[in-house]
Structure 1
Amino acid sequence: MTDTLTATATLAERLADVWAQLDERLAQVPVLRRLADGTVTLDDYRRLLFNLRQQVVDGTPWISRAASNFDIEHFDLRTAAIRHAEEEHRDYLMLERDYVAIGGSLAELRAGRKNVGSEALSGYMFHYADRPNPVGLLGAMFIIEGLGAKRAAGWAERFQEVLGLADTQVHFMRYHQEADSGHTGDLEAILNSGIIDDAAADEIVRCAQVVARLYALQLEELDN
C-alpha cells in the first residue's frame, strides 16, 4: 500500500509540472495572447472554432477505441471510457452552432481539414488508443479535460468582453467548464484509487507531456 500511495503522490506532482509547462506555452500562443491583451478579433474566434472542430469530432472515436482495448482486468477503466464517450459524442454540435452563430458557414466548417497540430494530436490519440490496456491515455484526459475545466470558461468570458458576444455564441466553451470539471473529478478518483502502478504512472505522465505539446501546437498552427 505504501508503494502505491507514494507512486500516486509522485504522479500528481509530475502531472502538475506538465500542466505548469503547458500554461507557459499557452501564454505564448498568438491567438491566446491577443485574447489576453484585448486585441483578438471575431475572425480570430471564428478561426479558432474552425480549427478546434476538426479535432473535436475525433474525440469520441478515440475514446471508444481505447475502451475496446481494455481487458476485463481493467473493467473500471473500460466502463469509465465508455461513459465518457457517451457523454461527449455530441459536443462537436455545440461548437458548430457557435460557429454558425458568429456568421460562419456550416458547410465550410464540415468540409474543413485538420491543421498540422490537429493531425498530429489525433494521430497520436488513435495510435495510443490501439494499444492493449492504454492506461496512459489518462494523461491525455488530464490535459484535455483540464483545459475544459480550468481554461475554457475564462476564454469564453474574455471573448465576450472583447467582442461583445452573446452566451449563445460561446456555448461550447462555457459548457465545458461544468462538464469537464465533472470529468476531472472522475479522473482524480481513478488516479487516487490505488490501481495505478509505477509503470502506468510513467505512461500517464509521458502521454500527458505529448498531448500537452500537441494541443498547444494545434492552437499555434491555426489554418496551417
Structure 2
Amino acid sequence: MNAETGKPDTALARTHRGLARVWIDFETSLMTVPLVSRLHAGKWRRDDYLALLRNLRQQVVEGSRWISRAASNLGTDYEELRTLFIHHAEEEHRDYRMLEDNYVAAGGLREDIVGGEKNIGSEALSGYMYNAASQRDPVGMLGAMFVIEGLGNRIAGPWSKLMAEQLDLPPEATSFFTYHGENDEDHLEMFDRAMEIAVTSDAVGSDIIKHAKVVARLYRLQLEEIDNV
C-alpha cells in the first residue's frame, strides 16, 4: 500500500511514478536548450521556427515506421498490445505532411524541408528507436511513446501559442503543434491501456522507464543539434 495515495503499490503504480520523475527531469532540461529558452524568453525569429520544422520533419517521418516494427515483433502473448501499436502507427503515419505544409505557410520552400537531412541528434534518436523496436517483445518502447506523446499533450499546445504570438503566424503555419496539443490526450489514453496490459512485473516497468530516460535525452539532443548534420 502506498502511504501517500492509500492505493495498492503495484508494479504498474511504481512504473507510473518512475515515468513521472523522468518527465519532470525532461521538461526541466528542455529549458536549457537554446532554441527552447529563446522561445520562452520571447526572442524567437522566423528562422528559428523554420529550423525547428525542418529538423523535426526528418524524425517525425520515421515515427509510424518504428511503431510498426515494434508491433511486428510483439508475440502472441501481446496480441492486444500489438493491435494498439498498429492503430497508433496508422494515426501517426501522415503527420510529417503537416510539418511540410506548416513550413510552406511560414514562408519556407517545400523542397528544403522535404530534402532535409537528420541532424546528429535525430540520427541517434532514430537509430535507438529502430534498434529497440527490433527486439523480441519490445514492450519497453512504451517508455519512448510516453515521452513523445507527452510532448504532444503537454508541450505542443503552449508552444504553438508562443510561436504564433511572437511570429504573427497564421493557423495553417502551426497546425502540427495545435493538432497534437488537442488530440494527443486520446493517445495517452491508449498508452494507459497499453501499460495495464504490459506492466506485469517490476522488471517490465524498469525496462519501460529506461527507454523513457534514453528517449528523453536523445530528443533533447535532437533539439540541441538543430541543423548540425
Question: Which TM class, normalised by the smaller chain length?
Answer: over 0.9
Contact 2:153 2:182 (8 Å CA) reproduced: yes
Q: Is residue 188 from structure 1 mapped to residue 192 from structure 2 by the alignment? A: yes
4+ aligned runs moved over 4 Å, structure 1: none
What value does the CA root-mean-square deviation take over the aligned residues?
Answer: 1.2
Q: CA deviation at 1:70?
A: 0.4
Is 1:202 paired with 2:206?
A: yes
> Which moved further from structure 2: 60-69 or 183-192?
183-192
Superposed, 1:33-44 pairs within 5 Å as: 33-44=37-48
> Partners of 2:203 and 2:213 in 1: how far apart?
16
Tell me the alpha carbon deviations over residues 98-143 of structure 1, each in whole angstroms, 9 at most, x when there is no partner.
Answer: 0011111111211110001100000000000000110000000000
Matches within 5 A, 1:1-224: 6-193=10-197, 195-224=199-228
Structure 2, unpaired ranges of 5+: 1-7
Q: TM-score, normalised by structure 1?
A: 0.96
Structure 1: segments with no counterpart, 5+ residues: none
Q: TM-score under structure 2 normalisation?
A: 0.94
- Matches of 2:88 and 2:102 in 1, distance apart? 23
CA spacing shift, 1:5–1:74, aligned 2, 3 Å: farther
Contact 1:5 1:194 in 2 (8 A): no
CA contact under 8 A between 2:12 and 2:199: conserved in structure 1? no
CA contact (8 A) 2:81 2:197 kept: no
